[in-house]
Amino acid sequence: MMRQDHLVAAGQLSRADVERVLDRAAEFDAALSAGGGEALPARYPETVLALCFYEPSTRTKMSFETAMKRLGGQVVDMGGVDASSVSKGESLADTVRVVEGYADGVVLRHPREGAAKMAAEFVDAPVINAGDGAGQHPSQTLLDLYTIREAAGLDDLTIGIVGDLKYGRTVHSLATALTEFDAHMHFVSPESLRLPRSVRFDLHEAGAELREHTEIDDVLPDLDVLYVTRIQRERFPDEDEYQKVAGEFQIDAETLAAAKEDLTVMHPLPRVDEIDPDIDDTDHASYFEQAHNGVPVRMALLDLLFQNHE
Amino acid sequence: MSDHELRVSKIRDGTVLDHLPGGSALNVLAMLDIDGSEGTGVSVAMNVPSERLGTKDVVKVEERELSQAEVDVLSLIAPRATVNIVREYAVREKKQAERPESVRGVLACPNSSCITNAEEPVQTRFDVLEDGVRCGYCEEIIREGIADHLDVA
């Protein structure tokens, strides 16, 4: 059972919570694969989910929408910030209180860290953090964990997390959640994009060992999973430095020659040039499957949150 | 400090804050929201010699008795502060600043992207760690220079 009505950070999730979501997701996954119908009865025909996205999104927004609809529910979408009262200066606190009057749950993406946590303090309806600035993205973590469990298992796992570890919210949530499992984590990034102090603190508190590298080759042969993230160009002080680092972390079939045969390569997407398309057709590539898993996992998350909230 | 060294006279009723780090008195007053506008006496001695601290500040606030919660907030910038509650010129109660679990509305988050730095109706909250504080919203950790982040008018 989830311990709280809201999901704002991965640190809220115990191992039992994660397993409960993933087990339920597996049931939904099977039902979806069976084509729905009787295998997937409309569980929430009266339920409306609000999507409040203050930043662009493709996968997260569409998979939440699909998940709610697959559960028999409906969705209301705030639309772009420019088309809403946000452009008139409405506060987030006011917006979520208004939206709560229309919907039974709120999925929120916002450019500021801590936005979902604050929003959750203003409403009773479940709030799901769909990304808060460079903070957290816990529902992405659940689908990442689902993908990892399917591909490699969550215990006795050696994972390399590569790219923008400083601002990458998927990384922050994933690393925190993996401390609940027997996972050996290697963090590969340029010096300037190492994990932030808050995540390092959480990992330390959880007793996780922090293994940091600047070269993928140092750890690649040991990895079961390689989790690649986009290095965010806009964060770099100068273009030359970005180009140098972007080149360093481009992974192609040649890079993976030293990897285990059954290495799983993941990416929360969108990618720019971190993963060469020549990997797409190899058995290593799991990023599109990872994206597909967003639907059953978010169905499971919504199901458990709504059940818990009844 | 012996009587002939007294820089500030004894107070009749109020609170004496002693063993504040040298130079911290004005921040202490700001944290306590004491700016003299209430019209009661406030005395400040800064950078006076101290056996324990080398130099220290002392603040005497007349006609106000600080609560334990107020004293505890001071522990963020004055961990060795001692607080005497004075009534009729005599010390009637001694308090020690103890680190609180969290502080609200005292510090501003240094992370400019934190939701508490937006135009939102929310008060800052920091959880107090062994060696710093952590924003209750964006999780930013401050270890050094906590006084630089006081959220005071």
CA dist., res. A89 & res. A280, Å (int): 44
Query: What number of CA atoms fall less than 13 Å from residue B89's CA on the CB side?
Result: 2
Q: Which tokens is A142 given?
A: 């659940």
Residue whose tokens read 């689902």: A146
What's the whole-number mean pLDDT along residues A98-124?
A: 97
Instruction: Between A85 and B91, name the one with better pLDDT.
Output: B91
Q: How far is CA A65 from CA A58, A147, A269, B97, in A?
A: 11, 20, 18, 51
Q: Do B120 and A91 touch (CB under 8 A)?
A: yes
CA dist., res. A179 & res. A9, Å (int): 14
Q: Do B120 and A93 touch (CB under 8 A)?
A: yes
Q: Average pLDDT over chain A, rounded to whole?
A: 93
pLDDT per residue as tens, chain B (153 positions):
555 555 678 899 999 999 999 999 999 999 998 998 989 999 999 999 988 889 999 999 999 999 999 999 999 999 999 999 999 999 999 998 899 999 999 999 999 999 999 999 999 999 999 999 999 999 999 999 998 999 875
Task: State residue A118's pLDDT score.
Answer: 98
Is the pLDDT at A3 greater than 60? The verdict is no
Domains and CATH numbers, chain A: 10-136+294-309 (3.40.50.1370), 138-291 (3.40.50.1370)
For A194-253, the pLDDT digits (tens) are 999 999 999 999 999 999 999 999 999 999 999 999 987 766 667 887 777 776 688 999
Cis amide linkage into residue A270, ω under 30° from 0: yes
Q: Identify whether the C-beta of residue A299 lies closer than 8 Å to the C-beta of residue A28.
A: yes
What angle do the packed helices A138-151 and A59-70 form, to 10 degrees?
A: 80
Q: Which tokens is A95 given?
A: 């917006």
CA dist., res. B119 & res. A90, Å (int): 9
Is A69 in CB contact (< 8 Å) with chain B? no
Query: A162 φ, ψ to 5°?
Result: -125, 140
Q: Identify whether the C-beta of residue A72 lies closer than 8 Å to the C-beta of residue A48.
A: no
CA dist., res. A160 & res. A265, Å (int): 10
A137 annotated as ligand-binding: yes
Chain centre distance of CA B26: 9
What angle do the packed helices A115-122 and A92-100 form, to 10 degrees?
A: 50
Tell me which of A90, A96, A113 to substitute to probe the interface with B (most B C-beta atoms closer than 10 Å).
Answer: A113
What angle do the packed helices A169-178 and A197-205 form, to 10 degrees?
A: 10
CA dist., res. B81 & res. A136, Å (int): 38
Report the helix count and the strand count for chain A, using DSSP H and E: 10, 9
Q: Do B111 and A113 touch (CB under 8 A)?
A: yes
Catalytic residue set of A: 59-60, 88, 109, 137
Q: Identify whether the C-beta of residue B138 lies closer than 8 Å to the C-beta of residue A114.
A: yes
Among the four given CATH numbers 3.30.70.20, 2.30.30.20, 3.40.190.10, 3.40.640.10, the one describing domain B102-149: 2.30.30.20
DSSP β-ladder status, A48-53 and A74-77: parallel
Among the four given CATH numbers 3.30.420.40, 3.30.70.140, 3.40.640.10, 3.40.50.1220, the one describing domain B3-96: 3.30.70.140
Tell me which of A112, A173, A204 to substitute to probe the interface with B (most B C-beta atoms closer than 10 Å).
Answer: A112
Radius of gyration of chain A (CA): 19
A24 annotated as ligand-binding: no
**Which phi-psi region, left, alpha or beta, contains residue B36 (left: φ > 0; alpha: ψ -120 to 50)?**
left
Q: How many percent of chain A have pLDDT more than 90?
A: 82
Task: Report yes or no for ipTM above 0.95.
Answer: no
CA dist., res. A300 & res. A306, Å (int): 10
Task: State residue A1's pLDDT score.
Answer: 37
Chain centre distance of CA A66: 16
For A10-63, the pLDDT digits (tens) are 999 999 999 999 999 999 999 999 987 788 888 999 999 999 999 989 999 999
Neighbours of B153 (CB within 10 A): 5
Contacts of B131 in chain A (CB under 8 A): none
Q: Nearest by CB to B115, which of A9, A113, A134? A: A113
Task: State residue A64's pLDDT score.
Answer: 98
In this structure, which amino acid lies at residue A76?
V
Q: Nearest by CB to B122, which of A93, A197, A201? A: A93
Neighbours of A270 (CB within 10 A): 10
Contacts of B102 in chain A (CB under 8 A): none
Neighbours of A244 (CB within 10 A): 11
Q: How far is CA B26 from CA A44, B14, B35, B84, B98, in A?
A: 58, 18, 9, 18, 20
In this structure, which amino acid lies at residue A301?
L
Is the pLDDT at A267 greater than 90? The verdict is yes
Q: Where are the domains of chain B?
A: 3-96, 102-149
